[in-house]
């Protein structure tokens, strides 16, 4: 992550989640994306060149016909690509979960080819609300006050080949505690901290689709 900075620390992070789910339905994420897909011959089914190409599955519901068909009836692992969005103009970013967050094979790793994906898991921040809590922290040895925000997120499981949604869920990530540290990227506000959904909070929600 370019230009990343870490602000040090006070307090403990605790996140409470709530939300509601719905069955398969077609809804548009509306987030912009921006990478090109494979320049295959006209008579060859299209496949993504990089995992970032799969952003269009989340943003526009457009799949890649050259990817393997998803069949939930098959009791095997159906590999997925994780895509995340902060709900801003930067669109969607391909992501690799940290070791231990999910069983091995559920999500594509750095060494996996994108044409292996059967599913795309889209995790999107849709709203941020100030908690009113201000945390006293430090940056480069100087005092810094951090404002915290609770967030609303949307989780979707989408077929990589067709762009069809298999599952959608809307929930909240909330906390009244200060974080241990704040990691920001270039262009982000250094005095804001967003409570985000964690992998352990949606692991059980994606399992019936990735590993039925």
Count of structural domains within the chain:
1
Query: How distant, in Å, are the alpha carbons of 69, 114, 164 from that of 91?
Result: 26, 19, 20
Chain centroid, CA 203 distance in Å: 12
Query: Does residue 60 lie in a domain region?
Result: yes
Query: Does residue 101 lie in a domain region?
Result: yes
Helices and strands of the chain, counted as H and E runs: 2, 9
Structure token pair of residue 137: 């922290």
Residue 63, pLDDT > 70, answer yes
pLDDT, position 37: 47
Query: Does residue 39 lie in a domain region?
Result: no
Q: Domain range holding 197?
A: 51-179+188-210
pLDDT, position 36: 46
Cα 164 from Cα 24, distance rounded (Å): 8
Query: Does residue 150 lie in a domain region?
Result: yes
pTM: 0.78
Residue 19's pLDDT band (cuts 50, 70, 90): low
Query: Does residue 204 lie in a domain region?
Result: yes
121-176 tens-digit pLDDT: 999 999 999 999 999 988 888 898 999 999 999 999 999 999 999 999 999 999 98
Backbone angles phi, psi at 32, to 5 degrees: -75, 155
Query: Does residue 17 lie in a domain region?
Result: no
């Amino acid at each position: 992550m370019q230009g990343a900075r870490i602000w040090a620390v006070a307090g403990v992070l605790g996140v409470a989640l709530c939300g509601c789910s719905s069955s398969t339905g077609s809804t548009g994420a509306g987030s912009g994306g921006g990478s090109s897909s494979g320049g295959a011959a006209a008579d060859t089914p299209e496949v993504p060149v990089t995992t970032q190409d799969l952003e269009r599955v989340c943003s526009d519901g457009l799949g890649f016909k050259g990817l393997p068909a998803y069949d939930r009836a098959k009791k095997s692992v159906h590999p997925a690509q994780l895509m995340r969005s902060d709900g801003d103009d930067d669109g969607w970013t391909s992501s690799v979960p940290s070791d231990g967050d999910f069983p091995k094979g559920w999500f594509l790793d750095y060494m996996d080819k994108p044409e292996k994906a059967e599913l795309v898991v889209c995790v999107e921040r849709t709203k941020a609300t100030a908690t009113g809590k201000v945390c006293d922290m430090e940056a480069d040895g100087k005092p810094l006050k951090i404002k915290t925000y609770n967030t609303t997120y949307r989780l979707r499981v989408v077929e990589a080949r067709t762009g069809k949604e298999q599952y959608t869920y809307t929930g909240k990530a909330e906390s009244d505690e200060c974080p241990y540290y704040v990691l920001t990227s270039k262009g982000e506000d250094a005095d804001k901290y967003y409570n985000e959904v964690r992998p352990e909070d949606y692991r059980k929600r994606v399992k019936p689709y990735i590993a039925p």
